[in-house]
Structures are given as structure tokens and as C-alpha cells.
């Protein structure tokens, strides 16, 4: 009798369990890797490259000034040496601030870029979810492990390219 009850309970329990279709996606990578993402990123990349070139130029000038100060250290008066060292420290602070500002601007440019193409990515993702009958889609960075077949990033990128 116990075996019959256990069998009935098991059958009832198994019928209640439903398979859940799960996938992972790196939405940011799919957006930026798509054709529209690559096209939209051209101008921001040029702006960042120009800022980077200016930063490198200023860093090289600062290094040359530091080398000159080191070379002239023994021939300068103590007051003149301290004055030039203070100017060098001020220039270093300016360059650090410039680098921080450049990083902030680069991040803002990327965020604006992603915001501008997110609607196309969301539409493509919704279409993939419906086609595959997915119950759950997770951000790839949040998952500890995902089988390659569960990763929709490349498929989403291709879908974005196809739809746009």
C-alpha cells in the first residue's frame, strides 16, 4: 500500500514540475558588437582617441620637464629648484585631473551610445525570447556557469544586424 501511495505522489509531483527554458546574454556586448553599435561608436571613438593623444602629449611634456629639473637640480638655487618642483607638482595634478575627466567623458559617451541603440536591442531580444519560448533570460555576468548553447549573445548580435 505504501508503494502505491508513493507512486501516486511521485506521479502527481512530476506532473507539476515544468521545464524552464533559461538563457544568458551579454546585452552590452551584443549592442556594441552589432553593426549599428559599431557605426554609432565611430564618432565617440574618435573623440576618445583625440583626448588620449592630448593626454599623452601633455604627459610627455611633463616627463621632459621632470627630466630637465632633475638634470638642473645641482645648478639651481634652492628657491628656484623648489619653485620649479612646485610648478611640476601642479602640472602633475592638472594631468591627473585631465585623465580623470577623460575617463568620465568616455564613460558618458559609452552610456549615451548604449542608450541610443538599446531600443533596437530590446526589440531583437524580445523576438528571440518569443521564438525560443524562453521563460528566463539572465545577464551573463550574473551567472556562474552557462552552457555555450544557453548564451544568446552572438545570436542577439546577429538578430540586431538582421533587423536593422
Question: For residue 98, is it within any domain?
Answer: yes
* Grid coordinates given for 91: 602640472
Question: For residue 5, is it within any domain?
Answer: no
Tell me what pLDDT residue 8 has.
52
Close Cβ partners of 21 (under 8 Å, ≥ 6 residues apart): 132, 133, 134, 135, 136
The percentage of residues in the chain with a pLDDT greater than 90, rounded to a whole number, is 68
Q: Which helix (H) or strand (E) holds 70?
A: helix 35-72
Quote the domain boundaries for residue 70.
17-163
Question: For residue 93, is it within any domain?
Answer: yes
Give CA–CA dist 97/42, Å, rounded. Answer: 25
pTM for the structure as a whole: 0.68
* Grid coordinates given for 116: 541610443
CA quadruple 56, 57, 60, 66: dihedral sign: negative
Is the pLDDT at 160 greater than 70, yes or no?
Answer: yes
What pLDDT digit, counting tens, does each position of 57-108 carry? 999 999 999 999 999 888 889 999 999 999 999 999 999 999 999 999 999 9
Tell me what pLDDT residue 11 has.
43
What pLDDT digit, counting tens, does each position of 31-67 carry? 999 999 999 999 999 999 999 999 999 999 999 999 9
Tell me what pLDDT residue 103 has.
94
Looking at every residue in the chain, the average pLDDT score rounds to: 87
Question: For residue 10, is it within any domain?
Answer: no
Tell me what pLDDT residue 14 has.
45
Residue 94 CB neighbours (<10 A): 12
Question: For residue 8, is it within any domain?
Answer: no
**How many domains does the chain fold into?**
1
Question: For residue 4, is it within any domain?
Answer: no
Region class of 13: left (phi > 0), else alpha (psi between -120 and 50), else beta: alpha
Q: 115 vs 142, which has greater pLDDT? A: 115
Tell me what pLDDT residue 94 has.
95
Please give the sequence-ordered ranges of beta strands (E in DSSP) within the chain, or none if there are none. 22-25, 136-139
Question: For residue 7, is it within any domain?
Answer: no
Q: How confident is the model at residue 10 (pLDDT cuts 50, 70, 90)?
A: very low
Report the candidate in 147, 145, 137, 144 with the shortest Cα–Cα distance to residue 30. 137
Give CA–CA dist 94/101, Å, rounded. Answer: 10
Give CA–CA dist 54/122, Å, rounded. Answer: 37
Question: For residue 123, is it within any domain?
Answer: yes
Is the pLDDT at 18 greater than 80, yes or no?
Answer: no
33 in Cβ contact with 157 (< 8 Å): yes
Amino acid at each position: 500500500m505504501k508503494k502505491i501511495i508513493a507512486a501516486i505522489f511521485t506521479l502527481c509531483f512530476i506532473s507539476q514540475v515544468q521545464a524552464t527554458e533559461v538563457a544568458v546574454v551579454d546585452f552590452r556586448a551584443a549592442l556594441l558588437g552589432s553593426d549599428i553599435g559599431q557605426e554609432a561608436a565611430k564618432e565617440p571613438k574618435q573623440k576618445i582617441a583625440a583626448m588620449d593623444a592630448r593626454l599623452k602629449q601633455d604627459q610627455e611634456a611633463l616627463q621632459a620637464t621632470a627630466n630637465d629639473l632633475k638634470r638642473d637640480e645641482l645648478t639651481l638655487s634652492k628657491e628656484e629648484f623648489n619653485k620649479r618642483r612646485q610648478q611640476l607638482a601642479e602640472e602633475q595634478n592638472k594631468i591627473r585631473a585631465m585623465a580623470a575627466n577623460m575617463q568620465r567623458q568616455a564613460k558618458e559617451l559609452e552610456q549615451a551610445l548604449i542608450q541610443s541603440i538599446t531600443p533596437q536591442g530590446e526589440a531583437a531580444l524580445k523576438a528571440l525570447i518569443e521564438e525560443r519560448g524562453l521563460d528566463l533570460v539572465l545577464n551573463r555576468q550574473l551567472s556562474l556557469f552557462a552552457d555555450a548553447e544557453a548564451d544568446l549573445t552572438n545570436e542577439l548580435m546577429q538578430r540586431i544586424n538582421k533587423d536593422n
